[in-house]
Amino acid sequence: MLKAFLTSFLCCFMYCQAHILIKGKVVDATTQLPVADAQIVYSSTTLTADELGTFVIDTDTLLHQITISAPFFKEKLIAIPQNVPELLIIYLDPTDLHQLADVILESKDMNSISTIAKVDINSRNVNTSQDLLRVVPGLFLAQHAGGGKAEQIFLRGYDIDHGTDLNVSVDGMPVNMVSHAHGQGYADMHFIIPELVQNIDYGKGPYYSGTGNLGTAGYVKLKTMDVLDKSRVSVEAGQFNTIRNVNTIDLLNTSKKGLNKSAFIASEIFTSNGPFKVNQDFSRINLVGKYTTQTDNSFLSIQGTYFTSKWDASGQIPERVVASGMISRFGAIDSTEGGNTSRQNLIVNYQYKPSSSGVLDNTFYLTKYDFNLFSNFTFFLNDSVNGDQIQQKESRNMLGYNGSYTYTRSIGNLIWKQKYGIAIRYDHINNIGLLHTKQRLFLKNIELGDINEFNHSAHIDHQLILGKFTFNAGLRLDRFHWTYQNARDTLYKPFIAQKAIVLPKFNLLFNPNQHLQLYLKSGKGFHSNDTRTIAQSMGNGMIPAVWGADLGLTTKISDKVWFNTALWYLYSEQEFVYVGDEGIVEPSGKTQRKGIDISGRWQALKWLYTDLDITLAQPKLLQVPHNEAYVPLAPTYTATGGLSFKFQNGINGNIRLRHLGDRPANETNTVKAKGYTIFDASIFYTKPKFEVGVIVQNLFDTAWNEAQFDTESRLKNEPSPVSELHFTPGTPFFSKLRLSYFF
List the one residue out of 591, 520, 519, 580 whose CA is nearest residue 555.
519
Pairing of strands 173-174, 197-204: unpaired
Q: How far is CA 38 from CA 71, 92, 228, 305, in A?
A: 8, 10, 21, 31
Please state, in angstroms and rounded to a whole number, the distance separating the CA atoms of residues 438 and 421.
49
Give the pLDDT of residue 31.
87
343: enclosing H helix or E strand: strand 337-355
Task: Read off the pLDDT of residues 698-742 as tens digits, 9 standing for 90 and up.
Answer: 999 999 999 999 999 999 989 999 999 999 999 999 999 999 999
List the one residue out of 565, 450, 457, 407 whose CA is nearest residue 215.
457
DSSP codes joined into one string, 136-189: STT-EEE--STTSSPPEEEETTEE-TTTTTEEEEETTEE--BTT-SSSTTB---
Please state, in angstroms and rounded to a whole number, the distance separating the CA atoms of residues 426 and 532.
16
118: enclosing H helix or E strand: helix 117-123
Please, are residues 175 and 186 in contact by the beta-carbon 8 Å criterion? no
Q: Judge whether 19-96 and 112-742 match in fold.
A: no
Give the pLDDT of residue 18.
52
- Neighbouring C-beta atoms of residue 503, cutoff 10 Å: 24
pTM for the structure as a whole: 0.94
| Contacts by residues 654-659 (CB-CB < 8 Å, ≥ 24 positions apart) | 654/123, 654/124, 654/125, 654/681, 654/682, 655/679, 655/680, 655/681, 655/699, 656/124, 656/680, 656/681, 658/134, 658/140
Give the pLDDT of residue 279.
93
Give the pLDDT of residue 539.
64
Please state, in angstroms and rounded to a whole number, the distance separating the CA atoms of residues 492 and 485.
7
Q: Which amino acid is at 67?
A: T
Please state, in angstroms and rounded to a whole number, the distance separating the CA atoms of residues 602 and 564.
12
The ranges of the chain with pLDDT < 70 are 1-19, 107-108, 145-146, 254-256, 412, 490-493, 538-540, 577-585
Classify domain 112-742 at the CATH class level.
mainly beta
Selected from 1.10.3720.10, 2.60.40.1120, 3.90.1150.10, 2.40.50.140, the CATH number assigned to the domain covering 19-96 reads: 2.60.40.1120
Query: Domain extents for the chain?
Result: 19-96, 112-742
Please state, in angstroms and rounded to a whole number, the distance separating the CA atoms of residues 576 and 216.
14
